[in-house]
């Protein structure tokens, strides 16, 4: 670690490196597919490497599943559904979910380190956010397993069948939990496809299912790239597909399922407005802007990627934001001081760099902090654009990186108009001292989640999901159970 990536305005004090160790567990050299309770190689024998984006070194070789493997996994899930899981009482199912939740807690340190190594996120986030929330999600849904009658009063809830679930790389284990916990709690079985750049914690989760004694075939995990995901969606043996990822792939999945009775939920991109009024507590709002766009390198579908700031405080907010950003530490994801880790993949890093260029070509003004970044690996310095117009691509499109677009407004109506001028509708934020304004804004923005005087807060009991091109269906809370049950 270099000591130079620490901004020490006004003092000579910096942070000494505080790396989390990675010697308390050992990754396998290679991982198979998890089908019917066992790890098996891909039929083709093909493998691909998952790398650490902070140093570009391979961490493990991963099996690359083809159509035949997908078929085996769906059949294993079907058998487990018919023979075991759908017949089991909710109370018994709940016991397995509680066990999984507890093992996630027991293996939390290992899971956090692997998550940071495989995907590049700071250890502080994987340790304090991703892994605890994944465990919480299982605890929460374990509680529902024998109480579905209370979730849907007056109705009888039965499972749907086999769910094919495809997840992205920004919150790998947490997305496993969001997808798998409600499906299993409601009596469905699962074939999961993790993202190709971050398969490791999903594979460790498969080990956890073995450790918990989960009946064979209830959870299956097939690894591979987009073609594996497409093969899963195409398989006629699925009763339900759940997808989180890009809007383009979401649309392709919707097309591929057209004309079939397979149920679908989509959690897609976002371009949230984070609105700062002149009466807000400015220093807190600045922290909220930082959290909103730089959390997880900005690889967050609900990121506050558009800042709308009231004109009277624009200058002070931008100055304070610059000063605060200069203190952000970019670097080794395993260092406990790191604020911003590595960009998840080379491809994503290039996509973000393209947007940095597009923004400047469109005439916006780019600000980037001066912090040094390591030579190896994929890095983007914390960035924002000013002088942006509503029509700019950097305002309209999801960048999915540490890049903020700043616009100003004069009146509340103008703020709402700008906030809603987007194809997306996943989240939003409002910062003000006035309760009445909070209500006007939260009612006025068409988005699934809106935070007031905070940002990026998650809880398993709170439903999450979008409007418009951000997708449909909810995850979390009672609403999140609904896509996994048939009601009669």
Q: Could you tell me the smallest distance in angstroms from the CB atom of residue 402 to ligand NAI? A: 13
Q: Could you tell me the smallest distance in angstroms from the CB atom of residue 228 to ligand NAI? A: 7
**CB of 265 closer than 8 Å to CB of 243:** yes
| Identified catalytic residue from 115, 125, 196, 267 | 267
Q: Could you tell me the smallest distance in angstroms from the CB atom of residue 52 to Mg ion? A: 6
Among 20, 64, 118, 339, binds Mg ion (CB under 5 A): 118
Ramachandran class of 161: left when φ > 0, alpha when ψ lies in -120 to 50, beta otherwise: left
Q: Which stretch binds ligand NAI (CB under 6 A): 58-66, 190-198, 290-298, 385-393?
A: 190-198
118 binds, among ligand NAI, Mg ion, none (CB under 5 to 8 A by kind): Mg ion
Residue 74 binds ligand NAI (CB under 6 A): no
**Closest CB to ligand NAI among residues 176, 253:** 253
Question: Under 8 Å CB-to-CB from 92, ≥6 apart: which residues?
Answer: none
Q: Which stretch binds Mg ion (CB under 5 A): 78-86, 90-98, 117-125, 415-423?
A: 117-125
**CB of 322 closer than 8 Å to CB of 385:** no
Residue 398 binds ligand NAI (CB under 6 A): yes
Could you give the 3-state DSSP secondary structure of residue 345? coil
Residue 50 binds Mg ion (CB under 5 A): yes
Among 113, 195, 203, 404, binds ligand NAI (CB under 6 A): 195
Residue 351 binds ligand NAI (CB under 6 A): yes
Strand partners, 310: 409
Q: Could you tell me the smallest distance in angstroms from the CB atom of residue 285 to ligand NAI? A: 25
Question: Under 8 Å CB-to-CB from 396, ≥6 apart: which residues?
Answer: 271, 390, 422, 423
Token pair belonging to 259: 């004309």
Q: Which stretch binds ligand NAI (CB under 6 A): 63-71, 119-127, 160-168, 382-390?
A: 160-168
Ramachandran class of 114: left when φ > 0, alpha when ψ lies in -120 to 50, beta otherwise: alpha
* Residues between 191 and 230 that touch Mg ion (CB under 5 A): 197
245 binds, among ligand NAI, Mg ion, none (CB under 5 to 8 A by kind): ligand NAI
- Is 301 catalytic? The answer is yes
Residue 252 binds ligand NAI (CB under 6 A): yes
Q: Which stretch binds ligand NAI (CB under 6 A): 50-58, 162-170, 183-191, 201-209?
A: 162-170
Q: What are the backbone angles phi and psi of residue 183, rounded to the nearest 5°?
A: -60, -50
Closest CA to 470 of 170, 248, 325, 270: 270
Q: Which value, to the nearest 10 degrees, does the dihedral of the CA atoms of residues 294, 450, 198, 253 take? A: -130
Q: Which stretch binds ligand NAI (CB under 6 A): 51-59, 210-218, 228-236, 404-412?
A: 228-236
Token pair belonging to 245: 């990822």
Query: Residues 292-311: x/- map of binding to ligand NAI (CB under 6 A)?
Result: ---------x----------
* DSSP assignment string, 179-210: HHHHHHHTT-EEEEE--TT--HHHHHHHHHHH
Closest CA to 309 of 393, 403, 415, 398: 415
SS (H, E, C) 244-261: ECCHHHHHHHHHHHCCCC
Q: Between the CA of residue 450 and those of 259, 439, 442, what are the distances in Å?
A: 34, 10, 6
* Residues between 207 and 226 that touch ligand NAI (CB under 6 A): 225-226
| Identified catalytic residue from 301, 302, 349, 371 | 301
244 binds, among Mg ion, ligand NAI, none (CB under 5 to 8 A by kind): ligand NAI
Q: Please report where in the chains the tokens 């407005």 appear, as a residue.
A: 273
Q: Binding residues for ligand NAI, how many (CB under 6 A)?
A: 25
Among 122, 245, 460, 480, binds ligand NAI (CB under 6 A): 245
Q: Between the CA of residue 123 and those of 91, 141, 229, 478, what are the distances in Å?
A: 35, 26, 29, 31
50 binds, among ligand NAI, Mg ion, none (CB under 5 to 8 A by kind): Mg ion
- Contact set with ligand NAI (CB under 6 A): 166-168, 170, 193, 195-196, 225-226, 229-230, 233, 244-246, 249, 252-253, 268-269, 301, 348, 351, 398, 400
- Contact set with Mg ion (CB under 5 A): 50, 118, 197
Q: Which residues are catalytic, by number?
A: 267, 301
């Amino acid at each position: 670690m270099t000591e130079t990536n620490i901004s020490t305005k006004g003092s000579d004090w910096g942070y000494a490196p505080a790396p989390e160790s990675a010697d308390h567990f050992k990754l396998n050299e290679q991982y198979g597919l998890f089908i019917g309770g066992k790890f098996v190689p891909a039929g083709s024998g093909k493998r691909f490497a998952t790398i650490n984006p902070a140093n570009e070194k391979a961490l493990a070789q991963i099996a690359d599943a083809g159509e035949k493997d997908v078929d085996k996994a769906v059949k294993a899930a079907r058998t487990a559904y018919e023979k075991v899981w759908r017949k089991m009482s909710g109370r018994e199912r709940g016991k397995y979910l509680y066990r999984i939740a507890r093992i996630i807690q027991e293996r939390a340190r290992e899971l956090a380190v692997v998550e940071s190594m495989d995907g590049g996120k700071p250890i502080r986030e994987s340790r304090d956010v991703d892994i605890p929330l994944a465990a919480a999600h299982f605890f929460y849904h374990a509680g529902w397993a024998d109480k579905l009658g209370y979730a849907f009063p007056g109705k009888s809830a039965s499972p749907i069948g086999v769910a094919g679930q495809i997840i992205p790389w920004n919150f790998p284990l947490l997305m496993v939990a969001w997808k798998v916990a409600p499906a299993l709690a409601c009596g469905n079985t699962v074939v999961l496809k993790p993202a190709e750049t971050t398969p490791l914690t999903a594979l460790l989760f498969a080990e956890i299912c073995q450790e918990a004694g989960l009946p064979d075939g209830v959870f299956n995990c097939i690894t591979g790239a987009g073609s594996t995901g497409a093969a899963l969606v195409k398989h006629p043996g699925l009763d339900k597909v759940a997808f989180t990822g890009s809007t383009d792939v979401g649309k392709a999945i919707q097309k591929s399922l057209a004309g079939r009775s397979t149920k679908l939920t989509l959690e897609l991109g976002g371009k949230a407005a984070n609105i700062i009024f002149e009466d807000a507590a400015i220093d807190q709002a600045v922290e909220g802007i930082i959290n909103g766009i730089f959390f997880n390198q900005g690889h967050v579908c609900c990121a506050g990627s558009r800042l709308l700031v009231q004109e009277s405080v624009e200058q002070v907010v931008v100055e304070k934001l610059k000063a605060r950003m200069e203190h952000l530490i970019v670097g080794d994801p395993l260092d406990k001081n790191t604020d911003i880790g590595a960009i998840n993949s080379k491809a994503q890093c290039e996509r973000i760099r393209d947007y940095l260029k597009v923004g400047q070509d469109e005439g916006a003004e780019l600000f980037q902090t001066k912090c040094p970044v390591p030579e190896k690996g994929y890095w983007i310095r914390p960035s924002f654009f000013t002088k942006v117009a509503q029509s700019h691509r950097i305002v309209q499109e999801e960048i999915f990186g540490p890049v903020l677009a700043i616009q100003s407004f004069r009146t509340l109506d103008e703020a709402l108009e700008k906030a809603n001028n987007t194809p997306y509708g996943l989240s939003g934020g409002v910062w003000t001292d006035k309760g009445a304004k909070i209500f006007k804004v939260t009612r006025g923005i068409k988005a699934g989640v809106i935070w007031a005087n905070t940002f990026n807060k998650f809880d398993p009991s709170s439903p999450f999901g979008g409007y418009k091109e951000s997708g449909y269906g909810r995850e979390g809370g009672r609403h999140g159970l609904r896509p996994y049950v048939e009601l009669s």
